[in-house]
Amino acid sequence: MRTRGGHHISRQIPLQAVALVAFILFIALGCPDLQAAASPPHSPDPVPPDSEFVVMLELDGDPLAESVIVTERDGRLYVPVCALAEALSLAISCLDRRVFGFVLDESRPFLIDLDEGHAISGRDVFPVKAQAFQQNGDVLVEAGELSRLLPIDLSLKAESSTLKIHARELLPLQGFKKRQRFHSARSAAAPKRCADFTQCPPSIWHPNCS
């Protein structure tokens, strides 16, 4: 079949199809921005949840009767300050998002204020942001940061679920136990004396004498 110009219609149709395919390929290959806009955005990997577990406390090799719940977040260990302070008999208290008291003596104030974003230990001021947060009515601080604020070093013994505490200074609990051992040693070393019984002649042994 011919048109008025003498050309076949059947030859025009394939040429139009080829042009359409070439245009589509040009859009697909030559415009990657359009491809990126058309594809759905890549969602980030979900953040793993915090892990909580119970640990026993060990102070310089001596086990404590207390146990605390610690939190692991992004591979870091966070320790509840007030639960730890209570176990170690430190004069530290918690009130909402603040921890306050003193370290060993009143001349060394101690403060953690989550709203203000800073901590005070003695005369030093430290910024605390991601290293501390509030959870379960306590303020949790990253173990390394807490070792900088308090005169202790913390390390986790995972196989026995034990939080080992090394005191860089004598803590009140250690001082109390040391005094107890001293008084017990003095009592054991004191010589026994004979009770005063006037009816007991000096030359006769009496069961109350040793």
Strand partners, 191: none
179-205 residue pLDDT tens: 776 556 666 555 656 555 555 555 555
Question: In 1-156, which residue ranges form alpha helices assigned H by DSSP?
Answer: 9-30, 32-38, 81-87, 143-149
pLDDT mean over 47-54? 82
Tokens 């303020």 belong to residue: 139
Neighbour count for residue 165 (Cβ, 10 Å): 23
196 compared with 124, residue with greater pLDDT:
124
pLDDT at 126: 94
* Residue pair 90/171 in contact by the 8 Å Cβ criterion: yes
Q: What are the E-state strand segments in the chain?
A: 51-59, 62-73, 76-80, 92-95, 98-102, 109-113, 118-121, 124-127, 132-135, 138-142, 152-157, 162-167
* Residue pair 80/150 in contact by the 8 Å Cβ criterion: no
pLDDT at 34: 47
Which of 121, 132, 138 has its CA nearest to residue 82? Answer: 138
pLDDT at 175: 75
Q: 69: buried, middle or exposed (CB in 10 Å: 19+, 13-18, 0-12)?
A: middle
* Residue pair 150/167 in contact by the 8 Å Cβ criterion: no
CA 40: distance to chain centroid? 37
> What is the rounded distance in angstroms from the CA atom of residue 141 to the CA atom of residue 123?
19
Least confident of 69-78, 130-139, 191-200: 191-200
